Amino acid sequence: MRFIIMGGVLIPNNTSGDSLPITKIPTIPQPALNPDFSYNPEIQQLLTGKQLLFDDIPFTLDEIQTHYLNGYVTYRKGIVYKGKQPNCARCGNKDPQQFASFPCSRCGEICLYCRHCLMMGRISTCTPLLGWNGPVPDTVYPTKILEWKGTLSEGQLVASNHVVEAIRQNQEHLVWAVCGAGKTEVLFAGIEAALTSKKRICIATPRTDVVLELTPRLKAAFPAITVASLYGGSEDRHLYAPLTIATTHQLLRFYQAFDTIILDEVDAFPYTVEESLQHAAVHARKPTAAMIYLTATPNEKWQRECRSGKRAYTTIPARFHRHPLPVPEFVWCGNWQKKLQKNKLPQDVIRWIHNRIKTNKQTLIFFPHIPLMEKALPTLRQFDPTIQAVHAEDPERKNKVQKMRKKDIPLLLTTTILERGVTFPNIDVAVIGAEDPIFTESALVQIAGRAGRSKDHPDGVVTFFHYGKTDEMIKARRQIVSMNSEGIKRGLLDK
């Protein structure tokens, strides 16, 4: 497909002949909206709030072009230039190393394309991003939107009220809630307020498994509302919905779509390290929109902004069962890696593990790296042959986690892959080599947060075995102690 300028209008053209690539067009003109045009509601549903490629849509070029000429479909340049520097309009990539050239059959020239978001379809200098300029699809809202029958704790209720107000005022707000505080339930009133005002709302999270876990809970709470669940391979990819749950990667397909975005686990990988995902979250918002951030472990910069009054925030310093967070104990264990090379572990570690096995207390043990974990596994299986190990690339990962939930595994070795997003009702937790740089303040707080989550088993032991204390270890314990102190001061803890 080629693009030509005809009468000052951009035209997709399948015929041979001269063409003017989009990169050479100063601006892409937008025809005025023709109110007498009968638009296709399927195209409306597909493109509202989106930025898609021609290859993403199941309609002919002629039909799309007709909608464009009548002002309903919009074209935006996929790659724009700031001086001589290319910028990807979809993912925000500005790194020269992340662009490459190829002989393009579309425009007939050597074309630049963005390598960074290639997995979402190739976007090049002659590739337009398609959007919608007409009315939004009609949505019928029920008289009663929220059907959840639960009650909030005092700490949850304060945060819930602040979320509602931020959504109504189109403001940004951070909910800093300890692990196990019940963040999802805190959102319900805010979601209801947004939907009552006919606002379109998105809950975005870095990980697919969180999307899959949240989807049935939100469908149960809002049974009469259409909910789109978006992740790689999702069947809801083209579904227009007033309430969307998506991975942060899926936000790359949206443009000025949502009146409210709730960003869950804002501190989690890969959101924290991929600027494209942060770019996507900003561009998926409408120019006037609320942004709610959720985290148990805000980074140091955000913590300073909270303390200095530069960032609006609410803390939930206590879990719903009103018991304090387990405070990690630091245990020096010497050069544990040297011992591991001789197929041994420090005596303090062996004693700790032996006590858990003897008392039938399920345990999670975190290792900094897969080879070290796999080296320790045969040694620990001498205590119990059913002990298992799991990591991100393990094909049996889900099966092992399920066995742990069913108490078929007494002790599970793991990398940081299980630092968040999993709940076991009654476990103790240890970290071997807590001094390793991979164990940041955030990671250690999340790991400690695996213990004591159940109201039936609110206590748990958390031990950081180390070969030298680090600032990250100290900051993690300080943050947990601080939350417990705040919980006591606010009357949210029973002891």
Where does a domain end: 260, 285, 316? 316
Strands 329-332 and 462-466, sheet pairing: parallel
CA-based nearest residue to 160, from 320, 355, 360: 320
- Model confidence at 300, pLDDT cuts 50, 70, 90, reads confident
Looking at the structure of the chain, the number of domains it has is 3
Tokens representing residue 199 in the block: 């606002």
Q: What percent of the chain has pLDDT over 90?
A: 72
Point out the domain boundary residue: 279, 294, 316.
Answer: 316
Mean pLDDT computed over 340-365: 94
- The pair of structure tokens assigned to 479 is 């943050």
pLDDT at residue 141 in the model: 87
Residue 385, pLDDT score: 94
Distant-in-sequence, close-in-space partners of 333: CB < 8 Å, separation ≥ 6: 346, 348, 349, 432, 465, 466, 467
Separation between Cα atoms, residue 409 and residue 401, nearest integer Å: 9
| 286 shares its domain with 188 | yes
In a domain, 145, yes or no: no
- Say what the pLDDT of residue 66 is: 93
139 token code pair: 């949505």
> 290, 316, 342: which is the final residue of a domain?
316
Mark whether 307 and 333 lie in a shared domain: no
Structure confidence at residue 243 (pLDDT): 97
pLDDT digits (tens, 9 = 90+) for 78-113: 999 888 899 999 999 999 999 999 998 877 888 899
My answer on whether 362 and 478 are in the same domain is yes
Comparing 420 with 331, the larger pLDDT belongs to: 331
Query: Which amino acid is it at 305?
Result: E
Tell whether 198 and 294 lie within a shared domain.
yes
Residue 175 identity (one-letter amino acid)? V
Residue 323 lies inside a defined structural domain of this protein:
no
Distance CA 473, CA 465 (A): 11
What's the pLDDT band for 472 if we cut at 50, 70, 90? very high
What pLDDT band is residue 272 in, cutting at 50, 70 and 90?
low
**What is the structure's pLDDT at 212?**
87
CB 425 within 8 A of CB 449: no
User: Taking 70 as the threshold, does the pLDDT of residue 134 lie above it?
Assistant: yes
Task: Kindly state whether residues 240 and 379 are assigned to the same domain.
Answer: no
Would you state the pLDDT for residue 24? 54
459: in domain: yes
State residue 4's pLDDT score: 45
Domain contains 94: yes
Q: How much is the average pLDDT of 25-47? A: 88
447 assigned to some structural domain:
yes
Distance from C-alpha of 37 to C-alpha of 54, rounded to nearest angstrom: 22
Output the six-digit token pair for 381.
């299986």
CA distance 44 to 146: 28
Query: Is residue 13 very low, low, confident or very high in pLDDT (cuts 50, 70, 90)?
Result: low
CA-to-CA distance for 162 and 318, rounded, in angstroms?
17
- Which pLDDT value is given to residue 336? 96
Element spanning 331, H or E: strand 329-332
Give which of 377, 353, 484, 359 is closest to 426, Cα–Cα: 359
What is the chain's mean pLDDT, rounded?
90
| Parallel, antiparallel or unpaired: strands 79-82 and 85-88 | antiparallel
Pair (124, 26) in one structural domain: yes
How far apart are alpha carbons 56 and 37 in whole angstroms?
24
Does one domain contain both 85 and 115? Answer: yes
Averaged pLDDT, 318-337: 95
DSSP-derived 3-state class of residue 221: helix
Confidence of residue 152 (pLDDT cuts 50, 70, 90): very high
| pLDDT score recorded for residue 224 | 94
**CB 159 within 8 Å of CB 102:** no
Q: Which of 7-11, 286-290, 362-366 has the lowest mean pLDDT?
A: 7-11
Angle at 311 between CA 309 and CA 314, to 5 degrees: 95
Interior CA angle at 267 toward 279 and 332, to 5°?
A: 150
Count of positions (residues) in the chain? 495
DSSP per-residue letters across 390-428:
E-TT-TTHHHHHHHHHTT--SEEEE-GGGSSS---SSEE
Q: Is the dihedral of CA 38, 40, 43, 44 positive or negative?
A: positive
**How far is C-alpha 37 from the chain's CA centre?**
40
Q: Quick check: is 144 in a domain?
A: no
Check whether residue 346 and residue 289 sit in a common domain.
Answer: no
149: in domain = no
Note whether 346 and 258 are same-domain residues.
Answer: no
Same domain, 180 and 73: no
- Whether 310 has a pLDDT exceeding 60, the answer reads yes
Residues 336 and 312 in one domain: no
H/E run at residue 314: strand 313-316
Q: What's the CA gap between 67 and 60, in Å, rounded?
A: 11
Same-domain pairing of 170 and 204: yes
- The domain of 203 spans 154-316
Residue 2's pLDDT is what? 46
Do residues 72 and 132 lie in contact, with contact meaning Cβ atoms separated by under 8 Å?
A: yes
Across the beta sheet with 427-432, the strand order is 329-332, 462-466, 427-432, 362-366, 411-414, 388-390
Contact between 39 and 29 (Cβ < 8 Å):
no
* CATH code, domain carrying 370: 3.40.50.300
Q: Span 419-424, mean pLDDT?
A: 82
CA 47 to chain centroid = 23
The helix or strand, by DSSP H or E, that contains position 234, with its residue range, turns out to be: none
**CA 254/CA 207 separation, integer angstroms:** 18
Site of tokens 């909030």: 152
363: which strand partners? 411, 428
- Residue 167 and residue 190: Cα distance in Å, rounded? 7
DSSP conformation letters of 117-146: TGGG---BTTPEEEEE-SPPPP-PPPS---
- 352 belongs to a structural domain: yes
More confident position, 164 or 422 = 164
